[in-house]
Amino acid sequence: MFIGGFATFALVYCTQPLLPLLAAEFGVSAASASLSVSATTAGLALMLIPGSVLADRLGRQQLMKFALAIAAVLALATAFAPDFFSLLVLRALLGAVLAGLPAAAMAYIGEEVTPNAQARAMGLYIAGNALGGMSGRFVGALVTDWSSWRTALAVIGVFGLVSAVVFWRRLPASRHFVPRAATPARIFRDALAIYRDPGLPWLFLVAFLAMGAFVGLYNFLGFRLLEQPYALGQSAIGAIFLLYLVGTWASALSGRLAERQGRPRVLWLMVVVMGSGLALTLAQPLWLIIAGVGVFTFGFFAAHALASGWVGRRAGERRALASALYLSSYYLGASVIGSLAGTAWTAGHWGGLSALLGACVLATLGVGLYLRRLPT
C-alpha cells in the first residue's frame, strides 16, 4: 500500500514543478498551466465515488491493480502529447483511471488491518503519498534540466509501470472483503447516513480546504522562485520538493500521536502548524521561505493522515463510500482552490496568494476546533 500511495502521488503531481516551463512552451498563462495539475485532480475527484461503488461490488484488490497499471500507461502517453489541449485530456484521463486506487485503499486498510494498528497503517500509506509526490516532482524537475519536460514525463511513466508490476505481484489478497450490492437505493441510503453523521461532513471539509491550500502553495512556489531576487533554476526548484520527506515523517508520527492522544486533540494543532508555516513564507530571505514551506508541509500531511484515518473509523461498513467522499473533497479542493490560487497570484503575487491560502487555513482550524466536541 505504501508503493501504491507512492506511485499515485508521483503520477498526479509530476507536472507541478514544470508549470513555468509549460506556460512558456505552450504560450499559456500561469493559471492555465496549473490546469495540468488541476485536470488530473478533477478527474480523480469525479471518479472516486464510482470507484468506491466498483470497489464494493468487484473487490478492493483487483480494482487497485488495474487502476495503477492503466494510469501508468496514460502517464507514459503524456510525454508524446502534441499540444497543450492533448496534454490536459491525457492528464484528466490519468486522474479518472487512477481514482480506483485511492477509492479502495482506505477501505482495504480498514478491512485487512487490525483496528489498533489502523492509524499507523494509514500513516504509512499517507507517507507513501508524501514520498511519491516528492519523488515525482524532484525527478521531473531534474530530468527536465538534463533533457526536456517530455523526457521527464516519460521517465515518470516508466517509473509508474515498474510500481504497477510490484504492486500487482506483492499486494496481499483481500481476506475480509464482503461484496455489497451497488444499487442506487443502497448508495443513496449510505450517502444519507454518512452526511447525517455529526463528524464525517466536517472531515470532508477539512480535506477540501487543507488540500486546496497545499496545492495552491506548491503550484505557484516555482513561479515565485524563478523571479528576482531568487532566480532559481529548474533543478533547484525541484530540490525544494525534497521537503516532502518532512511530510513522510509527519504522516507516520501523526498515527502514533493519534493512538496516544486521540485524533480530536491532535488535528487542530497540526492545522496551527500549517498556518505558522504559511506565515513564514511571507518573509523575503530564501531560507525562511523554505523553512516555512517545510513547516506547512509537516502540518498538512499530519492533518491529512489524521482526518483520513478518522473517516475510516467513523464510517464502519460504509467506509468505501465515505473514503471516496473524503477523497473527492480532497481532490476537488486541489482543483478548485488550486485554480483560484492562479487568480490570486496574478492579482497580488505571493501576498495575494497567501491571503487566499490563509483564509483556507483559518477555516480549517475552525472545523478542527469544532471536531474536538465530538464524542470519542
For 10, the enclosing helix (H) or strand (E) is: helix 2-13
98: CB partners within 8 A, 6+ apart: 8, 11, 12, 43, 44, 67, 68, 71
Neighbours of 133 (CB within 10 A): 28
pLDDT tops 80 at residue 184: no
- Considering the entire predicted model, what is its pTM? 0.78
Q: Which CATH superfamily is domain 2-170+187-370 in?
A: MFS general substrate transporter like domains (1.20.1250.20)
- The per-residue pLDDT for range 70-116, each reduced to its tens digit, is 999 999 999 999 999 999 999 999 999 999 998 888 778 878 888 77
- Tell me the one-letter amino acid at 194: I
Could you tell me if 332 and 317 are in contact, meaning their C-beta atoms sit under 8 angstroms apart?
no
Q: Which residue ranges make up each domain of the chain?
A: 2-170+187-370
DSSP 301-354: HHHHHHHHHHHHHHHGGGHHHHHHHHHHHHHHHHHHHHHHHHHHHHHHHHHHHH
Q: How far apart are CA 255 and CA 251, in angstroms?
A: 7
What proportion of the chain, given as a percentage, has pLDDT over 90?
42
Q: Where residue 180 falls among pLDDT bands split at 50, 70, 90?
A: low
- The per-residue pLDDT for range 312-353, each reduced to its tens digit, is 778 777 777 888 889 889 888 988 898 899 889 989 999 999
